[in-house]
C-alpha cells in the first residue's frame, strides 16, 4: 500500500495489529546543533538555542499539516556523557521552552507528553514538566511528545519489568507495547534524522518497526516548516507494505 493510498482511507496492519492510515506520527532525531554553531564560530549553546526555534517552527508546521503526534528526541539517556556545562545549558533551554511556550501549546489544543525517565532531572524542572503535562492532558488537537532522558532499550526494559510476574502465555507484542512510555500512541509512520548521520541512536526502536526512515543533510537549526513539508512529500511517495506484498 502506498502512503498516498493510505491517506485515502485504505489501511494496513502493523506488526502490532494496529491499522495505519494517513501520516499520524512523525518522530525526529534533532541532530546537528553543535555543527551549526561550529560553522559560525559560535559556542554549542548557540546551536541548541537556534534548535529551539526549529522545535517551535516544526511543531507549528506539524499542526498545520494535521499530524496527530510529533515526537522529538531532546535528551537521550546517553547525553549525560556530555560536559556538565552543556547538560546544564540544555536543561536551562528546556526549562525556558516550557515556561515560554506552554501557553501557546495549550491554546493550540496540544497535549504535551514526555517519554523517558525525566525524574532524573532537577526536582524543580521535574515539577515544571509534570505541571505542563498535567495542564495539557485533556487537550485533543494533537500531541507533542518530548524524549527526555529517553533511551529505547531502557524503555523496553522498564516495560518488561512491569510484565514480570505475569503468566508468560499472556505476554505478547500488544502487552509489551502497552507498557511502553508511548503505550497509547500510534506507531511511528515517519522517522526523520537531520544532519546527515544515519543512525537510530536508541530512539523508538520498537515504535519505528515499520516506520519510513528519512535521513536529511539539513542541520537541525536549519530545519523548519518547509523542510517538514518536504519530508512529508517524500513520505507520500513511499510505498508501505508492512511485510505484505
| Residues at the contact surface with ligand FPP, assessed by CB under 6 A | 30-35, 48, 51-52, 55, 72, 74, 79, 93-94, 97, 146, 195
Minimum Å gap between C-beta 197 and ligand FPP is 7
Residue 76 is labelled as binding a ligand: yes
- Note if 217 is an active site residue: no
DSSP, res 109: T
Minimum Å gap between C-beta 218 and ligand FPP is 12
Residue 88 is labelled as binding a ligand: no
Phi, psi torsion values for 76, nearest 5 degrees: -90, 160
Q: CA distances (Å), 173 to each of 60, 125, 163, 180, 219, in order?
A: 33, 34, 12, 11, 35
Closest CB to ligand FPP among residues 148, 180: 148
Residue 34 is labelled as binding a ligand: yes
Asked if residue 68 lies in contact with residue 25, where contact means CB atoms within 8 angstroms, the answer is yes
User: Catalytic residue among 79, 106, 117, 222, which?
Assistant: 79
Rounded CA separation 86/45 (Å): 7
Rounded CA separation 57/163 (Å): 39
Closest CB to ligand FPP among residues 170, 198: 198
Minimum Å gap between C-beta 186 and ligand FPP is 20
Beta-ladder partners of 191? 27, 213
Residue 33 is labelled as binding a ligand: yes
Angle between helix axes 225-237 and 44-64 (nearest 10 degrees) is 60
Residue 152 is labelled as binding a ligand: no
Phi, psi torsion values for 50, nearest 5 degrees: -65, -30
Residue 219 is labelled as binding a ligand: no
Query: In angstroms, how far apart are the furthest CA atoms of the chain?
Result: 58
Ranked by CB distance to ligand FPP, the top (closest) residue is 34
Rounded CA separation 85/102 (Å): 26
Minimum Å gap between C-beta 145 and ligand FPP is 10
Minimum Å gap between C-beta 107 and ligand FPP is 18
- Note if 124 is an active site residue: no
Closest CB to ligand FPP among residues 32, 186: 32
Q: CA distances (Å), 225 to each of 142, 212, 221, in order?
A: 17, 19, 12
Rounded CA separation 185/33 (Å): 28
Closest CB to ligand FPP among residues 87, 163: 87
Closest CB to ligand FPP among residues 27, 52: 52
> Which amino acids are annotated as binding site for substrate, given as ranges?
32-36, 44, 48, 76-78, 80, 82, 193, 199-201
> Which amino acids are annotated as binding site for Mg(2+), given as ranges?
31, 212
Active centre residues (catalytic):
31, 79
Amino acid at each position: 500500500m502506498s502512503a498516498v493510498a493510505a491517506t485515502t482511507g485504505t489501511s494496513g496492519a502493523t506488526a502490532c495489529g494496529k491499522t495505519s492510515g494517513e501520516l499520524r506520527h512523525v518522530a525526529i532525531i534533532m541532530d546537528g546543533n553543535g555543527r551549526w554553531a561550529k560553522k559560525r564560530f559560535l559556542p554549542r549553546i548557540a546551536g541548541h538555542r537556534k534548535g529551539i526555534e526549529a522545535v517551535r517552527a516544526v511543531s507549528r508546521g506539524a499542526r498545520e499539516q494535521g499530524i496527530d503526534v510529533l515526537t522529538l528526541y531532546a535528551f537521550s539517556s546517553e547525553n549525560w556523557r556530555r560536559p556538565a556545562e552543556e547538560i546544564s545549558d540544555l536543561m536551562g533551554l528546556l526549562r525556558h521552552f516550557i515556561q515560554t511556550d506552554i501557553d501557546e501549546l495549550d491554546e493550540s489544543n496540544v497535549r504535551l507528553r514526555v517519554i523517558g525517565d525525566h525524574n532524573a532531572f532537577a526536582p524543580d524542572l521535574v515539577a515544571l514538566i509534570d505541571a505542563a503535562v498535567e495542564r495539557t492532558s485533556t487537550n485533543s488537537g494533537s500531541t507533542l511528545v518530548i524524549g527526555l532522558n529517553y533511551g529505547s532499550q531502557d524503555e523496553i526494559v522498564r516495560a518488561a519489568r512491569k510484565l514480570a510476574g505475569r503468566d508468560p502465555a499472556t505476554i505478547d507484542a500488544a502487552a509489551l507495547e502497552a507498557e511502553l512510555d508511548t503505550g497509547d500512541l500510534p506507531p511511528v509512520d515517519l522517522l526523520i534524522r537531520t544532519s546527515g548521520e544515519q543512525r537510530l541512536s536508541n530512539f523508538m526502536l520498537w515504535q519505528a518497526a515499520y516506520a519510513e526512515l528519512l535521513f536529511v543533510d539539513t542541520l537541525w537549526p536549519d530545519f523548519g516548516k518547509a523542510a517538514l513539508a518536504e519530508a512529508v512529500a517524500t513520505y507520500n511517495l513511499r510505498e508501505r507494505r508492512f511485510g505484505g506484498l
